[in-house]
Chain A
Amino acid sequence: MTETEPHLESSNPSSLGVEPGLRIEPGRCIRCAAAASMAPTLFSLGSRGNQVLKQPETARERALARSASLLCPVRAILFEERGRE
């Protein structure tokens, strides 16, 4: 077995061919409530998993989106700041 498995790795939205921003990778979320705890204005926890309520606008919101992405144990939260590489 190898260290990496496709469904738990690669979190760069650009590499996935999608617009930068904040989004949830379908099928990955395990409903741990970590992101909704950290940033309740950005995430809402539904019965089927995490949902993005809005794109981060302020510096504070962008920082929280980044932190939630870093913390997610299954890399379900993808965040790339617009206008950055």
Chain B
Amino acid sequence: MTAEARDASVAQSSAKPEAGVITTSTDIVGDALYYRYFEQAEKVRWKISDVPWHLLEAERVSPYWKQVITEVARSELTTFDGTRQFMARFGHDPDFSQWIAIWLYEETKHPQVLMMWLRHLGVDLDDQFLVKGRQTAQFAASWLGTLTLNLIAEMMAAEAYVTLSRYAPEPVLKNLALRIAGDEARHAAHFFGYGQRLVERATDLKFERKNALEVLYLWLNTQTRLEHPIGQILHDVEATDTFRDGVRQGGFITDQLRDRICALVGDMIGIPLRGKKDVIRAAIELGRKR
């Protein structure tokens, strides 16, 4: 086992987090984040029929781009198993588990619409494509670690789709990518909100924060290769010559994005973080505290 893999196994273990730490409320409608998030999501909800399919310009799409979008669609299929894990482990939390229903609905639309775009270009995918794509990584050892993992993944996905919308050779794909980028960013905001609420209410905040820092540290060290499906697909796409030559030599994960994610995780867990050194320092200080 490499050091990297060993670190991953520590941060992303199958240990079950403590139950009932986010939502303990006597006024679920007034107190739950779900209602606010659902209302905001309703305001910006888009339908597959909203996509301007009549503007599609098939002749602009090379086999490379068809392959890239096939892989992106595959990575989006992991929501199914992610939801199964969320419900199995956090189903006791009525606020969060209600929100997961929105997340599943919106995330399920992403591979659907990408597969429709591919079908317009003559690429048909069978049911085995769907079934085989339904896999995901282990969740983190703690609640906050899991929310951190998903916050990072949604931020990476939003960045990737904004990049895709900028460089896609075809107008409908640009349109789709920006719609999906917006969904991913909103999901990041919602994971962030649940993380902040957890910090306010956690029974073992030190354990939660420590695991969140472990997840962040792992991501900072492995770049895109976080044990999460979006990390895997970004890594695979970045490895192609066409991507490096035509899009970004440095890959999806820029220093700017790395700094933003680091600071945002710090905001979520209530510890100022401006880079990897801060993450290490914070983890050491947490280790010292009784």
Binding site for B on A (CB under 8 A): 1, 3, 5, 8-9, 30-38, 40, 45, 63, 66-68, 70-74
Contact = CB atoms under 8 A, between A and B. Distances in A.
A63 B44 contact: no
A-B CB proximity, top 6 nearest: A32-B182, A34-B189, A73-B158, A33-B40, A73-B185, A34-B185
Contacts of B158: 73
Contacts of A1: 167, 246-247
B184 interface: yes
25 contacts: A3-B249, A3-B254, A30-B178, A32-B44, A32-B182, A32-B186, A33-B41, A33-B43, A33-B44, A33-B182, A34-B185, A34-B188, A36-B43, A37-B186, A37-B189, A38-B192, A45-B44, A63-B267, A66-B267, A70-B263, A71-B260, A72-B185, A73-B181, A73-B182, A73-B184
Given A45-B43, A70-B267, A32 B181 contact: yes
B183 to A, nearest CB: 7
B155 interface: yes
B26 to A, nearest CB: 22
Contacts of A5: 166
A63 B266 CA distance: 11
B264 A38 contact: no
Interface string B168-193: 00000000001001111110111011
A67 B185 CA distance: 12
A73 B163 CA distance: 10
A70 B260 contact: yes
Taking residues whose C-beta sits less than 8 angstroms from the other chain, chain B's interface range is 35 or more
Contacts of A35: 189
B159 A73 contact: yes
B192 A71 contact: yes
Contact of B186 (A8, A9, A34): A34
A71 B181 CA distance: 12
B247 A33 contact: no
Given A3-B249, A30-B178, A73-B185, A67 B162 contact: no
Contacts of A32: 44, 181-183, 185-186
Contact of A71 (B43, B246, B264): B264
Contact of A30 (B155, B182, B189): B182
B248 interface: yes
Given A31-B182, A37-B186, 13 more contacts: A3-B248, A3-B250, A8-B162, A9-B256, A36-B40, A45-B40, A45-B43, A67-B192, A70-B260, A71-B188, A71-B192, A73-B161, A73-B181
B36 interface: yes
B162 A73 contact: yes
Contacts of A38: 189, 192-193
Given A8-B162, A66-B267, A73-B185, A40 B44 contact: no
B162 A31 contact: no
B37 interface: yes
Contacts of B184: 73
Interface string B65-82: 000000000000000000
B40 A67 contact: no
A63 to B, nearest CB: 6
A63 B269 CA distance: 12
Nearest to B246: A1
Contacts of A66: 263, 267
B36 A37 contact: yes
